[in-house]
Amino acid sequence: MTLSQFRLDGKIALITGGNRGIGLATAQLFAEAGARCMLSARSETEQSRAMTEAGAHAFHAADITDPAAPDALVAATLATFGKLDILVNNAGVADGGDFHDFDDARLARIMDTNLIAPFRVARAAMRPMLEQGAGSIVNIGSISGHVANKPQLQVAYNASKAAVHQMTTVMAFEYASRGIRVNALAPGYIRTRMAIDGMEDPEISKVWADNTPMGRFGTPEEMAHCALFLASEAASFVTGTTLVADGGYITH
């Protein structure tokens, strides 16, 4: 293996939730590795706009919980770049609270965003990948798909991410013989907008850090490195796995 196996020259990547956090860091790293990216989110941020205004990348506004959005997003990617090689299924939301009080509207929001939408986006992306006989999909799961978190209570969120991991396993089994690799990345506590409130709360932050053997939180850039590995030819014999990047959180 050489470092060239980590290059993405000539590749086109679609990244949902690409306007901030892990999605944006992944887009930035993919660009450094030679890929061109279609970023998608409900709206652009200054950082994502700076990337697209540079000319090599594009942005397509979409609410991926809209059933029509995934097909439109893939169509926009194909219209802009002519092909689709990599999907990073990153968009997601978190919500928590007592299970017995968790109402159907909140449940639907979690499942629609974290499971049903990624299912639809992957389904739409799979079609052009099948036509070209190659592709790589990276679904963003969570350590919450493996454990019960504390101190927060989040049955619905954890269930949605566990489902993403299983979806990844079965997709990989179904499409391995057709040139398409499917893997998942399960981040631990990462310094993103989704987790920042907890990290700024001294009591919650202490619990999270104390339960992470490395004693610190991860960064979006560290998750981007993992996504690059899974998406690139460096992982050419890797499919159906969930790569946990959590500072050791799930070791106990």
Which residues have a catalytic role annotated? Answer: 157
- Give the chain as a DSSP string: --GGGG--TT-EEEEETTTSHHHHHHHHHHHHTT-EEEEEESS--HHHHHHHHTSS-EEEE--TTSTTHHHHHHHHHHHHHS---EEEE---------GGG--HHHHHHHHIIIIIHHHHHHHHHHHHHHHHT-EEEEEE--GGGTS--SSS--HHHHHHHHHHHHHHHHHHHHHGGGTEEEEEEEE-SBSSTTTHHHHTSHHHHHHHHHTSTT-S-B-HHHHHHHHHHHHSGGGTT--S-EEEESTTGGG-
Distance CA 134, CA 178 (A): 7
**Would residue 247 be called left, alpha or beta, if left means φ above 0 and alpha means ψ between -120 and 50 degrees?**
left
Q: By CB neighbour count within 10 A (0-12 exposed, 13-18 middle, 19+ buried), where does 142 fall?
A: buried
